[in-house]
Amino acid sequence: MTKTLLSLLLLSASLASDANQAGLYPPWLETTSCPFERPLPTTIPETLVSIKYYPPEAYNRNLCKSIKPVVSVSQAEQSADLLLKREQQLNYLTWQYNVFSWAAFIAVNRAVDKEFVITDENLKSAQTPVWLNWRTTESVFLEDGSAPKEWLFTENKQYNPAVSSIHQVVDHQFNAATDGVLIDQQDNPVYYQKYMNPVAFNFIKTNELYNLDGQITYANSHGEVSFAQGSFLLCNGKSNATGAPSIPCTPATNMRDIDSNDPSGPVELKIAWKVLTDADDVSRYIHVNTDVLITDDNASKVVQKKLGVVGFHLAQKTTSSPKWVFSTFTHLDNVLTEPSSEQSPSFFDRQCPECAVNVANGGSSKTQVKLMDPINPITQTINQQVQAKLAVEGSVLQFYQLVGTQFTTDFSAAEQIQLPGKIVNYSGYGPYPVFLTNEVIETFLQLGNVKTDNRSYYQSSSCMNCHAKGAIATGYKQQGTQKKVIWGHNNGDMSFNFYDAHWKKEGH
């Protein structure tokens, strides 16, 4: 361990909260002050892959909050000293948030044993991860608008319906219902699921946000959804790892009503699944044998398939990043990374390097995929160190890489309306990096250079600027026998899940 890292750990420990002193938080993530002017740490904390299991929201509270606001670009242009300061701030935050991302990724991928006990063992390929016992949006926003089944860690998997979604979010020039289908090199589509932790689930259920009727009622009385900026909630002495007892402990109409000194935060996941065949090394994937609903020529059938995780979005709302922290991971075998590598990429034909990349064509042919934005060198360094530690213990997580973490750089809530500010800071709070893309979850949002108002801009996917448009229903217009939903303006606290809700049917 370097002297620099040791000094950082000691500083972090001295600034830790009472909760940290009680042993609830890793001291290297509980920092309220960060000495960014010092050299970056050269190694990750020794305990990163071996810390005791806690729910992922336990791993961050005030992470480097004191650095914000980061020196603005306009300020930095005025002085070489400010330019250096800005670079140091961003580099330090990038390091800290990336270590945080890995801690959270490891936490949700701890192994769950046959008795549904979450262990301190990092996931091996044949084991069940924590998040697979969470709830998918399909099991929460039911088609008849009725209340979802109660959260029960040991039963949640059976409430989650068969995997069925094969459509990505696409740019406005495409049709999301037909065009955004990713096909791998074995001619199989990629499937997608969205999961939520018990905090998000209980907030939605308690406030009846699981149907459009309930959302309208909530909007009329509260205006907008506001999840807690979270860390770790102990309810009657029990952790929220499994959601027992229910969280929140008492009904709350707004997450602000929960104890503001130690609020618990929502966690949302988006998973991209690849169909595994005999051509794949199953031991390299987080995988599961599960039901898949296939619709062909308006006929549907459920079949069993072996699916492996190839993309992993992890979003958490924290006190240090009010517009959430967005972490995205991909599988190492997804695309061509090294020209000399002997790997057979799942989404790149090495025999056709001239093929057009990231083209949305409705799944009519294999998709040639390329990650357009390079991974930050700081992130690459952290990846290599974490992967090496995971390899020693034979964890399947060694075959995944962090593409990046998007976090806020200030606390200014002002929404930027005019271009080009709107492109880089629509959400407010100064997202960094400006763009962050997962090649198998946002394949068709990597648009490169586009023209708007007769000017050229570089456009890719930005987690915060996209999720800022999340909303809940505020009303409806009657069109014949149909009710057309009126969605609020950015009133869903960065969550797109509320769009999955349906009207409440009679009798439910």
The answer as to whether 250 is a domain residue is no
Q: What is the pTM of this model?
A: 0.87
Q: Calculate the dihedral angle through the C-alpha atoms of 350, 352, 353, 358, rounding to the nearest 10 degrees.
A: -100
The answer as to whether 488 is a domain residue is no
Q: Distance between CA atoms of 290 and 292, rounded to whole angstroms?
A: 6
Q: Distance between CA atoms of 443 and 1, rounded to whole angstroms?
A: 39
The answer as to whether 352 is a domain residue is yes
Could you list the pLDDT tens digit for every one of the 508 residues in the chain? 343 333 333 233 323 333 333 345 667 776 667 899 999 988 998 888 988 787 776 665 678 888 999 998 888 888 999 999 999 999 999 999 999 999 999 999 999 999 888 888 999 988 999 999 999 999 999 999 999 999 998 999 999 999 999 998 776 556 665 788 999 999 999 999 999 988 889 889 989 999 999 999 999 998 888 776 543 333 333 344 444 333 333 333 333 333 333 446 789 999 999 999 999 999 999 999 999 999 887 788 999 999 999 999 999 888 788 788 999 999 999 997 655 556 689 999 988 888 888 888 888 999 999 888 889 999 999 999 999 999 999 999 999 999 999 999 998 766 655 656 677 788 888 899 988 999 999 988 876 544 555 655 555 678 888 888 899 999 999 998 899 999 998 899 889 999 999 999 987 6
Residue 245, SS3? Answer: coil
The answer as to whether 242 is a domain residue is no
356 CB-side CA count, 13 A: 6
The answer as to whether 91 is a domain residue is no
Q: Distance between CA atoms of 172 and 179, rounded to whole angstroms?
A: 11
The answer as to whether 317 is a domain residue is yes
Altogether, the residues listed in the chain come to a count of 508
- Could you give the C-alpha distances from 322 to 98, 131, 156, 427, 442, in angstroms and in order? 17, 23, 29, 11, 23
Return the closest-CA partner of residue 266 out of 54, 52, 495.
495
Beta pairing partners, 194: 270
The answer as to whether 93 is a domain residue is no
Q: Total domain count for the chain? A: 1
- At position 450, the amino acid (one-letter code) is V
- Could you give the C-alpha distances from 444 to 167, 268, 358, 364, 496, in angstroms and in order? 11, 22, 6, 15, 18
Helices (H), 407-476: 421-425, 463-467
Neighbours of 187 (CB within 10 A): 11
Q: Distance between CA atoms of 443 and 348, rounded to whole angstroms?
A: 12
Q: Distance between CA atoms of 165 and 293, rounded to whole angstroms?
A: 9
Domain housing 193? 110-134+165-197+266-468
Q: Distance between CA atoms of 204 and 473, rounded to whole angstroms?
A: 14
The answer as to whether 374 is a domain residue is yes
- Could you give the C-alpha distances from 183 to 171, 324, 408, in angstroms and in order? 18, 30, 34
Contact by Cβ (8 Å): 320, 301: no
Residue 370, sorted as left (phi over 0), alpha (psi -120 to 50) or beta, turns out to be: beta
